[in-house]
Amino acid sequence: MFASVLTRASLGINAPQVTVEVHASNGLPALAIVGLPEASVKESKERVRSAILNSGFQLPPKRITVNLAPADLPKSGGRYDVAIALGILIATEQLQVDASGYEFFGELGLNGEIRSVPGILPAVLHCKEAGKTAVVPFANLEEASLVKPQIELEASVAVGATTLLELCGYLLGRNPLTAPEGHSDFVEDYTFDLADVVGQTQAKRVLELSATGGHSVLMVGPPGSGKSMLASRLVTLLPELKQEQAIELASIQSVSGQEVDVRGRFQRKMISPHHTASSASMVGGGTIPKPGAISLAHHGVLFLDELPEFSRGVLEALREPLENHHVEISRVNHHIRYPSKFLLVAAMNPTPSGYFPDDPYGRCKDTPEQILRYQKKISGPLLDRIDLHIEIPPVDIDSLQHKRDQGSEDSRTIRGRVTRLHALQYERQGCLNGDLTPVQIQQLITIDDSGNRLLKNAVERMGISARSYHRILRVARSLADMAGSEQVESVHLAEALAYRSFDRNLGSF
């Protein structure tokens, strides 16, 4: 007898469909799995055998062949267990049901329990597009609830099962399975606020500028000046995620094996990898490539503290994602693209000892050669791709003695302004200012004679590259938007140029 059951692979956020074909025939008793299975899939025959027997079914003494099609797609993990078990039960005529309208996911325990698997959210999304109902482990049901059913369809997009026996009863029409509950679109506010940072007025303005136009930031300052505290507050200035963005980010988290935060799905995330992180952990990798830190920071903030302490290879791997907003990972059997549109915030000390050479307390003991060697760990091409460079001075004692600055704006107030300016930019050009193309820059930004002279002098004196030139214009456009000006004026260009000072000064603080 022959049976066919549908499931999906966990390959990036694409979730290609996999057909589990089962053929049972007379011959020497055997259970074989073909279709390029990896070790975890080959072992599923032992899990499936015990789960079938412990669920009250039989495993007839037949020659059973399980084919996972397409044959050239590598299969890994325990997500195929439930589909394989159902295929065997249907092929051996112990379960007479029509499973064509379903796709099945889950790992089986030896007692027949259906356990959670990663990558459920992308699979359920594709099930919805195909008009199928996804049967998922009950532990994954909350994650599946992010996919809203089509209004015109009465059937649920997904249902959750706890055991193989319960699932068989559902397919026979004897008992229902739990459907996901809807969640409100309430957006929780953050537990920390930009108003918590005392002093650093200029740095707060730069953070608002970064959030307004989607501009990356490099902060240079001594230990304890508030760089990490400022970076962690940037995420509170960004508008809440839209439904499509929240689903996209949750899909990346699901594929990576992380728990999906359903209730906080509209909040932006800040990812802060340690400076010992490898290239694979940053951009993604593995036998079956999983997302790295830059993809987990999608639509959020990637914070790199102690920037020069990261390995050169890790930092250089950021260059293309910063401009293309995606990362492509190639392996022998896989080629996967993950989205990685993140806002980069980096922090570093000015010298190896952590203090500026002109520190009034004489705490900098480094030689000029040591300082230059430390700062040159950041390559020019990477520095070129960072829009805003700012020096963070130490906080004076008078500011520290106050819990909060008098009149300091909180994150909610600034976020309101940023949200309005995001809407303005999308209506005007279809993207944020930080993503403007050279053609769009020419169309949207008109510079008068004084502005042209200012830019020409800056390029000649600071050695600014063509890439930096365009980034200066993008930042100036954001400054003009913040000022409510339709035109980019000389004052906006002058401030934008001030935020490129490290192009000239790095290595000579």
Residues 100-127 have pLDDT tens digits of 999 999 999 999 999 999 999 999 999 9
Count the neighbouring beta carbons within 10 Å of the beta carbon of residue 473. Answer: 23
Handedness of CA 117, 118, 122, 126 (dihedral sign): negative
**Which pLDDT does position 407 carry in this prediction?**
58
Q: For 210-235, what is each residue's pLDDT tens digit?
A: 999 999 999 999 998 889 999 999 99
**Which pLDDT does position 135 carry in this prediction?**
96
**Which pLDDT does position 271 carry in this prediction?**
95
Nearest Cα to 189, choosing from 404, 415, 344? 415
Task: List, in order of start, the domains of the chain with CATH numbers.
Answer: 2-171 (3.30.230.10), 194-427 (3.40.50.300)
Given a contact cutoff of 8 angstroms between Cβ atoms, the answer to whether 167 and 54 are in contact is: no
**Which pLDDT does position 482 carry in this prediction?**
96
Question: Residue 418 contacts by C-beta under 8 Å, 6 or more apart in sequence?
Answer: 208, 211, 212, 237, 238, 239
Residue type, 187: V
Nearest Cα to 42, choosing from 1, 74, 3? 74
**Which pLDDT does position 366 carry in this prediction?**
87
**Which pLDDT does position 330 carry in this prediction?**
80
**Which pLDDT does position 321 carry in this prediction?**
92
- Ranges of residues in the chain with a pLDDT under 70 are 150-155, 182-188, 397-407, 503-509
Nearest Cα to 262, choosing from 412, 139, 380? 139
**Which pLDDT does position 507 carry in this prediction?**
41
Tokens of 465: 């590259």
